[in-house]
Every structure is written in structure tokens, then in C-alpha cells.
Amino acid sequence: MNNINILKPNRENFKIFLYIGSTLVFLGIFDVFLRSFFNLNFVTFLPGIINFLFPLILGLAGLQMIRLEYSGLKSVDLINRSVNNNTFNAALTLSIIFLALLAIPPSLNWMILDANISGNTKEACAGSEGACWTYIKVWFRRFMYGMYPNEFHWRINVAFIILISFAFVGFFAKGKFKNYLTFYYAIAYPIIAFLIIYFLISGGSFGLEWVETNAWGGLSLTFIVSFFGLIFCFPLGMIFALGRRSELPMIRYISIGYIEFWRGVPLITVLFMSSVMFPMFLPADTFVDKLVRVVAAIVLFEAAYVAEVIRGGLQALPKGQYDAAKSLGMGYWKMQIFVILPQALKLVIPGIANTFLALVKDTPLIFVVGLSEVVGMLQMAKTNPKWLGYAMEGYIFASILFWAICYAMSKYSQYLELKYKTDR
């Protein structure tokens, strides 16, 4: 009985409980810290399992002692309410803190302290326990530009700088030009982008040497494929979403057939067919570039998903919106463009972002047709006989790249959601 009472805080001398409790929690955390960072263990005299669980026991006892409702101290109340409202949650909280403490030193050691980035050969990393960032450094250009000839890398850089600056036109448009922004982004910009990529990266005119798409690769190819995938699958998806809700049976059935077909086949087979089967059906002397075929395949495939996401938004709109638009004399297209789609698209921003992120992360699949974007280049590099054994570094590098891209897109979609939010 007495023992339990010691752990139960009371209001009169809560201060004492608070001091002892937080000291215990601190000791528990400090113990794990010592074990993890300095490999020190002060309680080896305790038998096996108790030794192992000692910090947890300390911490739990400490948290138990400070668990008092409405203690009057804001920070203590916050802790009690959010992470310490019962023993189970207290144990979870402590476990998470401990796990983090235990995980930091090894990963820190591997990634930074013992890591190696000097030199240009594998020998620089020999004998070191940590990561070999030298590998990433040496292969960096390959990861960014693929097999694109080194002396022409500036062409890719310039192309991307132009593309990005053209994308920011919207921020500077004022007054009258604002009305044309939709047109610019929906039609003009994709055309400009295609021309820039065609003339600058592909080359073949203006004295620029032709570089065939087989040599393209790395992160720049990821961007090119994702970019064209995104801008073309969106309008196409929109058309099929409207088509599936059309009152004309012919259009409806074609849309349903299209969507269900493309949703039913795996992307990898679509890519494979676009590259291997499709040319067989073409007349002998026509040639469609492999990259174009692959992008087309991705666009057709993703459009089906986008269509279903948009259809979800269309169906969420009340019928009254259609009635009101019709009663004002708007025809089908005016109604869709000015009344229905703006509201539906706003509703499905999270879903669209979802689909787009998936698209970006699906781009590595183009390796099946022999195109190597950043992950594809990693595969190549890791099987290079001179650089065997550094796959982990490569994958971590790629994860960081993809995470950064996707996180940026996710943030942007949240920004759009806020921007177009109007109360219903």
C-alpha cells in the first residue's frame, strides 16, 4: 500500500513529486544517452533483463509521479495531457525517446562522422566503417545527367533554368495579362517547354550536336518525364472525367472503357508495350522516339487515375449548381468551365497531388525500356565492377532526392488548397 502511495502525487506537496519525478525521467533518459553515445552502463550489477529495462522503469516511475490533473503548471499539464495520460502512453513516449537516442549515434557515425567524401577512387573509402560519399561525388554527374556527354551538360542546365524562369511568369503578370495566364500555363507553356527541350537538350540544329534520347538520363530525365507526364495527363484526365458523366452514351462508354482499361493494367507492362509492341504496329519507315513513346504511355496511364479523382470532385457538387448555371443560359462547356470544374478541381487538390506524387515516384519504372533516370543510373553505378558494394549510399541519396521533390510538391498543393479556399 505504502509503495503505491509514494507514486501517487498529491496536491499538497506536488512540488516534491515534480522534482523527484522529473529527476527520475531525466536519469532514465540520461542512462540511455550514456549507453548509446558512450557505451557506458552504470547498472551492470542488475540482472540481465532488469538492467536492460532499467531506464524504462525509472522513466515510468518518474512520469507516474508527475501525473496529476490540473496541476496548475502549464507545461506539466501539457505533458500530462498529450503524452502522459496513462501508463501505456507514458511507456510509448519513453520508448520513442529511447529508440531515437539509440538510433542517432550509429546513423550519425555512418552518415557523417565515419563517412568519407575525399578522393576520386574507391581506395579513398577503403578501411572506413562509414558511408562512402566519394561514390556519390564521383558519379554525381551521371546521376544528374545520365549518359549525356559531359561537355554538353550546360545545355541541360540552361534548358532547365529557362524552363523554371518561364514558370514564374505568373507571379509577375499584372492587370490585363492576368486573364491570359490560364491559357499560358495550359497551352503556351507546354509548347515552349517542348521546344526548349527539343532544341536545346536534343539538339541537332543551331549548331548544337544531336544527342539521342537513349543517352539522356539521371535526375534531369526524371524531371523531363515527370513534367510532361503531369502537364498532359491532367487535361486528358479532365476530359475523361467529364466524358464519364456525359449524357451521351457513346462518349460515356468510351470514357468508361478507357478508364477501366488503363486502370486495369500495370504501368510496367504499358511501358514495355509502348517500347516493344507499339513500333510493330507502325509502318516500317515511321519512327517515334522511345522517350516520346514512354511519356505518352505514362500520360495515357495516369490520365485514367486523374479522371477518377476529378470525377470524385464532380460528384461532390450539389445538383443546384448545375441548375443555377443552366438557368442563367450557360451551355454545357460554359457551365463546366466557369462553374463546375473550378469547384470540383478545388475539392480534389489533395487527390490530384496524391496521383502526381505517385507519378513522379513511378518514373524509375522506365528502366524496363532501357531509359535510366536517377534510380536507373544508380543501378548501373552499383553494378560497376570498380564500385561494387556501395548500393546503400546510392539508395539513400536517391531517397533524399525523391523525398525533397515530393515534399516540395506536397507543400505546394497545401498552399494551393489554402489559396483557393472559400467558405461554402
Partner 1 sequence: MSAIIEMKEVNKWFGDFQVLKDINLEVAEKQKIVVCGPSGSGKSTLIRCINRLEEHQKGTIVVDGNELSEKTKDIEKIRAEVGMVFQQFNLFPHLSILDNCTLAPIWVKKTPKKKAEEFAMRQLDQVQIADQAAKFPGQLSGGQQQRAALARALCMEPKIMLFDEPTSALDPEMIKEVLDAMVNLAKQGMTMIVVTHEMGFAKEVADEVVFMDEGMIVEKAKTKEFFDNPKNERTKLFLSQIL
**What CA–CA distance (Å, rounded) separates 237 from 244?**
10
Q: Give residue 231's Cα distance to chain centre.
A: 18
**Cell 495515357, residue located:** 300
Residue 331 sits in the site that holds partner 1 (CB under 8 A): yes
Specify the residue, 130 or 350, whose C-beta has the smaller distance to partner 1: 350
Q: Which stretch binds partner 1 (CB under 8 A): 77-85, 202-210, 259-267, 319-327?
A: 319-327
Encode burial over 232-253: b for 16+ CB neighbours within 10 A, e otherwise: bbbebbbbbbbbbbeeeeebee
Specify the residue, 89 or 343, whose C-beta has the smaller distance to partner 1: 343
**Cell 543517352, residue located:** 215
Contact pick of 214, 321, 410, 413 for partner 1 (by CB under 8 A)? 321
Contact pick of 149, 266, 342, 389 for partner 1 (by CB under 8 A)? 342
Q: How far is the CB of 254 from partner 1 (least distance, A)?
A: 23
Specify the residue, 79 or 341, whose C-beta has the smaller distance to partner 1: 341
Residue 318 sits in the site that holds partner 1 (CB under 8 A): yes
Specify the residue, 76 or 325, whose C-beta has the smaller distance to partner 1: 325
Q: Which stretch binds partner 1 (CB under 8 A): 5-13, 67-75, 218-226, 330-338?
A: 330-338
Residue 420 sits in the site that holds partner 1 (CB under 8 A): yes
Residue 328 sits in the site that holds partner 1 (CB under 8 A): yes
Give one DSSP letter per residue of 129-169, joined into a string.
SS-BHHHHHHHHHHHHHTTS-GGGHHHHHHHHHHHHHHHTH
Specify the residue, 326 or 411, whose C-beta has the smaller distance to partner 1: 326
Residue 122 sits in the site that holds partner 1 (CB under 8 A): no
Q: Which stretch binds partner 1 (CB under 8 A): 221-229, 304-312, 340-348, 378-386?
A: 340-348
Residue 334 sits in the site that holds partner 1 (CB under 8 A): yes
**Cell 467558405, residue located:** 423
Q: Give residue 111's Cα distance to chain centre.
A: 22
Residue 338 sits in the site that holds partner 1 (CB under 8 A): yes
Residue 320 sits in the site that holds partner 1 (CB under 8 A): yes
Q: Which stretch binds partner 1 (CB under 8 A): 225-233, 339-347, 356-364, 401-409?
A: 339-347
CB 348 within 8 Å of CB 312:
yes
Q: Is the torsion defined by CA of 418, 422, 423, 424 positive or negative?
A: negative
Residue 349 sits in the site that holds partner 1 (CB under 8 A): no
Contact pick of 346, 351, 354, 410 for partner 1 (by CB under 8 A)? 346
20: Cα within 13 Å, side-chain hemisphere: 13
What is the DSSP secondary structure assignment for residue 123, as one 8-state letter? G
Residue 403 sits in the site that holds partner 1 (CB under 8 A): no
Helix pair angle (153-167, 218-244), 10° resolution? 40
**What CA–CA distance (Å, rounded) separates 125 from 129?**
9
Residue 343 sits in the site that holds partner 1 (CB under 8 A): yes
CB 64 within 8 Å of CB 88:
no
Residue 316 sits in the site that holds partner 1 (CB under 8 A): no
Query: Which candidate, 25, 33, 41, places its Cα nearest to that of 90?
Result: 25
CB 258 within 8 Å of CB 327:
no
Q: How many residues bind partner 1 (CB under 8 A)?
A: 22
Contact pick of 15, 178, 326, 411 for partner 1 (by CB under 8 A)? 326
Q: Which stretch binds partner 1 (CB under 8 A): 98-106, 243-251, 321-329, 376-384?
A: 321-329
Residue 424 sits in the site that holds partner 1 (CB under 8 A): yes
Specify the residue, 174 or 424, whose C-beta has the smaller distance to partner 1: 424
Please give the span between the terminal C-alpha atoms of the chain, in angstroms, as a whole number. 59
Residue 50 sits in the site that holds partner 1 (CB under 8 A): no
Give one DSSP letter per residue of 203-269, joined into a string.
--STTPPP--GGG-EHHHHHHHHHHHHHHHHHHHHHHHHHHHT-SSHHHHHHHHHHHHHHHHS-HHH
Residue 323 sits in the site that holds partner 1 (CB under 8 A): yes
Specify the residue, 294 or 344, whose C-beta has the smaller distance to partner 1: 344
Name residues whose C-beta falls within 8 Å of residue 315's C-beta, 6 or more positions apart in sequence: 245
Query: Which candidate, 222, 191, 223, 216, places its Cα nearest to that of 201?
Result: 216
Specify the residue, 3 or 422, whose C-beta has the smaller distance to partner 1: 422
Residue 422 sits in the site that holds partner 1 (CB under 8 A): yes
Q: How far is the CB of 312 from partner 1 (least distance, A)?
A: 17
Q: How far is the CB of 186 from partner 1 (least distance, A)?
A: 18
Task: List contacts with partner 1 (CB under 8 A).
Answer: 318, 320-321, 323-331, 334, 338-339, 342-343, 346, 420, 422-424
